A and B are shown apart, each in its own frame.
Chain A
Amino acid sequence: MIGYIESVINGILMGSIYGLTAVGLTLIFGVMKVVNFAHGSILMVGMFAAYWFITLTGLNPYLALVVVVPLLYFFGYYMQKIVIKPIFEAEKHVREPITVIIVTTGIWYVLDNLALLVFGAEFRVAQTSVTGKMIDIAEMYFPVAKLIGAGITFLLGVYLYWFLKHSRMGKAVRATSLDREAATLMGIKQSRIYNIVFGMGCACCGVAACVLVPFYYVYPTVGVPFDIKAFVIVVLGGLGSIPGAILGGIIIGIIETVGAQFMAATWTEMLIYAFFLVVLFVKPSGLFGLRQDY
């Protein structure tokens, strides 16, 4: 019995980190209605940045947040401004922005393979003060790095919620996501909001990257499994919903760890896809999605 509780809690810990990457994706979709397929690659960029920061300086792994998060914010900001914006503008009035989706896929290919070219295909592990450490709570063992990661995720979720609900910029973001034209008429500069939202989405990946590096391998295609999980999570939680993304992440995390108690790990992967397709059949708007969004 205690084994099950342990695996449920471990699922929640890992799931909240999945949720964190999904939050970035859902934030961008909520405002721009664009699925950023390069999201996993941006996570990969963040993980490499955090890895090199930790390895070269030898400082506490969580200090990497101070460097990596702003770095990824500006990475996303300028990626949107230079690469995505002109294409997005061209099909602003098209109902299905397919070109933008495919362009983000192109960015994914370029980033992943550049990393392969520069860093090689090997798996790297950052040696940090929390790597491999376990903590014993009521006869259950949890990795310290995952506990810290889940804590940071929770704080970030609370901050994002406050930011969108109460800050001036957050209100502008929400206004743009509700009605682009009306927001522009109120004096909100759309293109700037898009840049900022893209930057924030990527910064979420930066946080997730710093949290993952102490206990996860770093390699050029590390983004792909996270990317596909993030797609499943955002649809599950409802595209555009932040609480939905975090809850969806936790559900996927629990399926993964609890499923592993009954079957081979490859089957739990299958289970996640099957679950995803069932949600699409039954409630395509997801757990928290708005009807208008699909």
Chain B
Amino acid sequence: MKFLSNVPTTHKVFAGLVLAVLYALPLFIKSPVMLQIFILIFFYAYLTSSWNFVGGFAGVLPLGHSAFVGLGAYTSTLLYLTYNISPWVGMIAGGIVAVAFGLLIGIPTLKLRGAYFALATIAFAEGLRVLVENIEKLGPFEVRGPKGLLISLVGNSFKDFQFLSKVPYYYIILTMLVLVLILTFFMMRSKVGYYLAAGGEEPEAAEALGIKVSKYKLIAMAISCFLTALGGTFYAQLVLYFYPKSIMGLDMSYEIAFIALIGGRSTILGPVLGAFLLRPVGELTRIYLGDTLPGLHLIIFGLVLIIVMRYQPRGLVEPVSKWLTAIFDRIENRRRA
């Protein structure tokens, strides 16, 4: 617990309280629709936190992360459908496949200027989507092109990663999110984290100090791709039916980047805050206004993004945490007094 030594007690208590509330929530919320909204908030917070390793700490802008979501989902599902391998094992396999692809795209592009990296990741993600749409059969695997994959329902089964109730999914994704946030916390306080921060801000200076910036960026990319692919498997098991446009389209990649920037890039809680702000807007406008005003939630996303970037370029986590810290300080002072 040496890492936690410099965190104030009130912060620890607050974090504990929030976690306790979130873990107890399914006891009070019975509506599957509400639970689904929470699951998707956590899912996007998880994806954005994974994105954050490369988009936040490595200081570049990846805009094709849905490709890794898709790689994770397709790998685990194809293994399950063809060889009946449990998706829990397939999840890890998907992560490894995603890392392989991530390194393939990262090695030539992470050395380049930010704009090139952003363009290259878009082209990679779109290229991969078109490729998958064109493949009907790959060796023993039935990829089924644009028709997508359907996982048949077998009922409650932990081995098959299928549950009839939403509650287990809620706990799985919440736990995944907590774990990735803890990993982010350790990463920020590790040598690699400091190297990345230095390399992101002043690459020449960092190189001059003997830091191999592109090596650490590649490490960040590999971690990010692995975690993102795990999220892909989760999503596949949650919805049980997906096709290339739904799981590796550009929209998901952009939404991840939007959430990160609105919440706050290269912070631990920015992605969570961003997901809690943006996802409900998306879900609620889609549910209540989707028929009459199509695309309204995307207009709101765009406008929120532009306004936040104009007035809070580091994201909303900065004013929110300032405000929370002020409250904590007052509590701390009152406790002492």
Question: Which residues of A does B touch, CB under 8 Å?
Answer: 29, 33-35, 83, 86-87, 90-91, 95-99, 101-103, 105-110, 112-114, 116-117, 121, 224, 228, 231-232, 235, 239, 264, 266-267, 269-270, 273-274, 276-277, 280-281, 284, 293-294
Q: Check if B299 sits within 8 Å of A110, measured CB to CB.
A: yes
A280 touches B114 (CB 8 A): no
Interchain CB contact (< 8 A) of A270 among B60, B127, B258:
B127
Cβ of B63: which chain A residues have Cβ within 8 Å of it?
Answer: 105
Q: Is the CB of A277 within 8 A of B313?
A: no
* Known pairs A102-B258, A113-B299, A121-B294; A270 contacts B134 (CB<8 A): yes
Total residue contacts A-B, CB cutoff 8 A: 145
Q: How far is the CA of A165 from the CA of B59 in the complex (A)?
A: 36
**Chain B contacts to A: CB under 8 angstroms:** 59-61, 63, 105, 108-109, 111-116, 118-120, 122-124, 126-127, 130-131, 133-134, 201-203, 250, 254, 257-258, 261, 265, 293-296, 298-299, 301-303, 305-306, 309-310, 313
Q: Would you call A103 and B306 a contact (CB within 8 A)? A: yes
Contact A116 to B126, CB < 8 A, known contacts A96-B114, A109-B254: no
Q: Is there contact, CB below 8 Å, between A117 and B118?
A: no
Are B310 and A98 in contact, with the CB atoms below 8 A? no
Determine if A107 and B295 form an interchain contact, defined as CB atoms under 8 angstroms apart: no
For the complex, what is the distance from the CA of A110 to the CA of B300, rounded to whole Å? 8
The interface centre, meaning the residue of B59, B124, B130 with most chain A CB atoms within 10 A of its CB, is: B130
Cβ B261 vs Cβ A83 within 8 A: no
| Residues of the B chain whose Cβ atoms lie less than 8 Å from the Cβ of A83 | 306, 310
Is B298 in contact with A113, judged by CB distance below 8 angstroms? yes
Contact assessment for B295 and A96 in the assembled complex, using a CB-CB cutoff below 8 Å: no
B257 to A, closest residue via Cβ: A102
Rounded to whole angstroms, the CA-CA distance of A96 and B59 in the bound complex is 8
Bound form: Cα–Cα A35–B114 in Å? 10
Q: Are B309 and A106 in contact (CB under 8 A)?
A: yes
Chain A hits for B61, CB < 8 A: 96, 98, 101-102
Task: Given A99-B261, A231-B123, A276-B123, verify A87-B115 contact (CB < 8 Å).
Answer: no
Q: Tell me, in angstroms, the Cα distance from A97 to B113 when the chains sit together.
A: 10
- Please give, as numbers and ranges, the residues of chain B lying within 8 Å of A99 by CB-CB distance: 261, 309, 313
